[in-house]
Structure 1
Amino acid sequence: MTSRRSVLAGLAALCLPAPSWADVGNPRFLAAAKQGETYRLHGLTADGESLFSLPLPARGHAATAHPDQPLAVAFARRPGVFALVLDCRDGRLISTLTPPPGRQFNGHGAFSADGETLFTSEVIAETSEGRIGLWETRRFTRMGEAPSGGIGPHDVRRLADGNLVIANGGIATDPRDRTKLNIPDMRPNLTLLSQDGAILDQAALDPALNRNSIRHLALARDDRIAFAMQWEGDAAEAVPLLGLWSPGQAPTLCPAPETEQPRMQGYAGSIAVATDGRIGLTSPRGGLAQVFAPDGGYLASHARPDICGLAALPDGGFLASDGMGALLRITDGMTALQSHALAWDNHIVTLA
């Protein structure tokens, strides 16, 4: 028989507020890093202060944050076989996600707006054919999957209407050593996917640019999608690395001037859209951050060795990170905010 005490305890529990990001200091960003010989996931303020640091079993890549609860999913560097669901209040491991046999995680994921579904970027290991994994988030069990619409999906973003946009990089890789297998014939694309897995739209680049792998995404103004690319052709060819896409239309590429484009060395590592609509692009290979106008017109370049992580700051401009532990603010210039004794990895992830 249920006791009066247990009933009262249950009623009291129902009255307790659900945990939120306020319980860990309201961080604005998540970022993975190497600290000595260990790997960590940090929660950061807009000033670059680390509010918490959680251990990872191996090198991380990107993460995604639950829209309401202080939960983060940290993804292994691609191709990976782990994704960790972490309680950011105390670092408790809630769940370890493992893709189905013969599959690999590909570094990125996204929550649905209500937080009840997690979408993960995946590949079939032997073919690099893309899949989007579907996980319910009460127990973090797998519900199913959907084709990503291409080869080698990497970034995935949820749009305001709940649909997903997928960056299918187009590169088939050896599942063991990441050797690139299909460079002459690669076909990157952008795929618009409904939450139940139906392909709603796709866009590809001009065939002459088929080696421009579409890698990372940011949500721009007017429901446009900004995308960053990595050129798999001759490094001396100064091809555009930024594009804009509105579903239902052809993508538009946004070149930098002839004097500036080669400085990126054919590689864009991260992309972000500032609150005023400006678009930022980083190249750790080139040691350069470039800024573009909302319409894709080139504005400026800022040099910084090994710069890669990039996110929009709430009061304007960008937060950037480098491999030497610095966190920087990019507005009209570049200003150092914090310096940490670690090496930041590729991405800074904005909390919803």
Structure 2
Amino acid sequence: MVIDRRAILKGLAAAVAAGLAPGRASAARRPPLYVSCRMDAEGKASATMFSLDGQEIFSTLLPTRGHDATARPASSEIVVFARRPGNWFAVIDATKGGEARTILAAKDRHYYGHGVFTPDGRLLYATENDITSGAGLLGIYDAGDAYRRIGEISSRGIGPHDLAFLPDGKTLVVANGGLRTALETGREVLNPDDIQPNIALIEAAHDQTLAALQLHQPYRALSIRHMAVARDRTVAFGCQYQGDPNDLPPLVGTVSADGKIGLFEMPEVELMGMSNYVGSIALDKSEDIVAATSPQGGSVALWNRRTGEFLTTERMGDVCGVAALPETHDFLLTSGNDGVRSYVEGAETMARVTGDKMQKWIWDNHLLPIDV
């Protein structure tokens, strides 16, 4: 996601001066920045932007635990969503960091933790729940008018979680996880016997359904949660299994540009290490490699996106956040109890990102790379 480079020039200058620590990055390249939510030892939640050498660009307190973030194109604004089921999102100005505007959910609505801007940055779509009916919704917010809620459309399912635009900038892809929740009951699944996940493709401007893709019947208990979209329109997705914990269904797959779903295989012993749960998913810089994290299993698994070939797993306690590093096939990873590390292809071990602060925080689910 591209944001206004001038808006964070001051923070960047500090990051550039310190240099890049992990990986094989060139000193001539602008250092990447990342945004993630975190908690301290007392449970106080915040959102932070940091560089790979551990420089903190900003840290902003949040009302409660955060989940994911999205950057407004051609702007210094970053929107952070509450963990599901949440009733707020925060708008942070990256030039100031400490100042946030909080937007509360509409009556009888709650958020599911994710949102995406239109490519022009004018509108924000957020995954939401109609608390009364349980229907999944995409709330629409006018970013140019103090994020006023101007409408909503159906998500074409229940429990929409992650969403993104395809490269055409017109088609929304929505991961409807199939799980109904409510604010008063927290994360309790209210429809355990009627989970119907799908991946919906919606022409956003005209609210037109292009497809609602479901997994085959044996895998209907796979709640589709998170996605990463490639430039060729392939959508990689990760799932959280809601069935018998002794089952070992595949957890990661792709939807090709022509709408075909394929699930990735992996050795049974490695699959057991994922504990039927994918917390986040990302593509590397080349978009050749899919990485999926499992905080429950304490592991990150990698596949070749184009062939579906399983590559390897790496161990990291409570790992969840994952994003591409500047070099091909490399990833940055965050953990609830094991700090921030870089996975570099060919390295014997994962390296810790420098800076003591980076290692002491309880990092939350997702990691947003900022292209400046």
TM value normalised by structure 1: 0.90
For residues 142 and 228 of structure 2, the distance between their equivalents in structure 1, rounded to whole angstroms, comes to 25
Task: Answer yes or no: is 1:305 the counterpart of 2:317.
Answer: yes
Task: Answer yes or no: is 1:145 the counterpart of 2:156.
Answer: no
1:330, CA displacement in angstroms? 1.1
Task: Answer yes or no: is 1:336 the counterpart of 2:349.
Answer: no
Which among 313, 333, 337 is matched to residue 324 of structure 1?
Answer: 337
Which among 256, 275, 287 is matched to residue 298 of structure 2?
Answer: 287
Change (3 A) 1:73 1:256: same
Q: Which residue of 2 aligns with 1:136?
A: 142
Please tell me whether the aligned partners of residues 84 and 113 of structure 2 are also in contact (alpha carbons under 8 angstroms): yes
For residues 294 and 47 of structure 1, the distance between their equivalents in structure 2, rounded to whole angstroms, comes to 29
Between 39-48 and 301-310, report the one with greater CA deviation. 39-48
1:19, CA displacement in angstroms? 5.2
For residues 282 and 273 of structure 1, the distance between their equivalents in structure 2, rounded to whole angstroms, comes to 12
Q: Which residue of 1 aligns with 2:366?
A: 347
Between 79-88 and 220-229, report the one with greater CA deviation. 220-229
For residues 28 and 341 of structure 1, the distance between their equivalents in structure 2, rounded to whole angstroms, comes to 19
DSSP 3-state at the match of 1:321: strand
Please tell me whether the aligned partners of residues 236 and 262 of structure 1 are also in contact (alpha carbons under 8 angstroms): no
Q: Which residue of 2 aligns with 1:171?
A: 179
Q: Which residue of 2 aligns with 1:250?
A: 260
Please tell me whether the aligned partners of residues 342 and 352 of structure 2 are also in contact (alpha carbons under 8 angstroms): yes
1:83, CA displacement in angstroms? 0.5
Q: Which residue of 2 aligns with 1:225?
A: 235
For residues 59 and 314 of structure 1, the distance between their equivalents in structure 2, rounded to whole angstroms, comes to 29
Please tell me whether the aligned partners of residues 178 and 197 of structure 2 are also in contact (alpha carbons under 8 angstroms): yes
Between 206-215 and 241-250, report the one with greater CA deviation. 241-250
Between 169-178 and 75-84, report the one with greater CA deviation. 169-178
1:303, CA displacement in angstroms? 0.7
DSSP 3-state at the match of 1:222: coil
Amino acid across the alignment from 1:138:
G
Which among 97, 120, 131 is matched to residue 91 of structure 1?
Answer: 97
Long gaps (5+) in structure 1: 1-16
Long gaps (5+) in structure 2: 13-30
For residues 18 and 219 of structure 1, the distance between their equivalents in structure 2, rounded to whole angstroms, comes to 24
Please tell me whether the aligned partners of residues 217 and 228 of structure 1 are also in contact (alpha carbons under 8 angstroms): yes
CA RMSD of aligned residues (A): 1.9
Please tell me whether the aligned partners of residues 307 and 322 of structure 1 are also in contact (alpha carbons under 8 angstroms): yes
Q: Which residue of 2 aligns with 1:10?
A: none
Q: Which residue of 2 aligns with 1:199?
A: 209
For residues 225 and 93 of structure 1, the distance between their equivalents in structure 2, rounded to whole angstroms, comes to 35
DSSP 3-state at the match of 1:215: strand
1:86, CA displacement in angstroms? 1.1
For residues 61 and 98 of structure 2, the distance between their equivalents in structure 1, rounded to whole angstroms, comes to 10
Between 169-178 and 251-260, report the one with greater CA deviation. 169-178
Please tell me whether the aligned partners of residues 27 and 43 of structure 1 are also in contact (alpha carbons under 8 angstroms): no
Change (3 A) 1:129 1:93: farther
Identity between Structure 1 and Structure 2 (%): 34
Amino acid across the alignment from 1:336:
R
1:89, CA displacement in angstroms? 1.4
For residues 174 and 61 of structure 1, the distance between their equivalents in structure 2, rounded to whole angstroms, comes to 17
For residues 349 and 326 of structure 1, the distance between their equivalents in structure 2, rounded to whole angstroms, comes to 16
Q: Which runs of 4+ in 1 moved over 6 A?
A: none
For residues 214 and 76 of structure 2, the distance between their equivalents in structure 1, rounded to whole angstroms, comes to 37
For residues 144 and 93 of structure 1, the distance between their equivalents in structure 2, rounded to whole angstroms, comes to 27
1:207, CA displacement in angstroms? 1.2
For residues 134 and 11 of structure 2, the distance between their equivalents in structure 1, rounded to whole angstroms, comes to 38
For residues 334 and 88 of structure 2, the distance between their equivalents in structure 1, rounded to whole angstroms, comes to 24
Q: 1:16-165 to 2 correspondence within 5 Å?
A: 20-25=7-12, 28-37=33-42, 38-91=44-97, 93=99, 95-139=101-145, 140-162=147-169, 163-165=171-173
Q: 1:257-276 to 2 correspondence within 5 Å?
A: 257-276=267-286
Amino acid across the alignment from 1:119:
Y
Greater length-normalized contact order (CA 8 Å, ≥ 6 residues apart): 2
Change (3 A) 1:203 1:48: farther
For residues 21 and 219 of structure 1, the distance between their equivalents in structure 2, rounded to whole angstroms, comes to 26
Please tell me whether the aligned partners of residues 23 and 70 of structure 1 are also in contact (alpha carbons under 8 angstroms): no
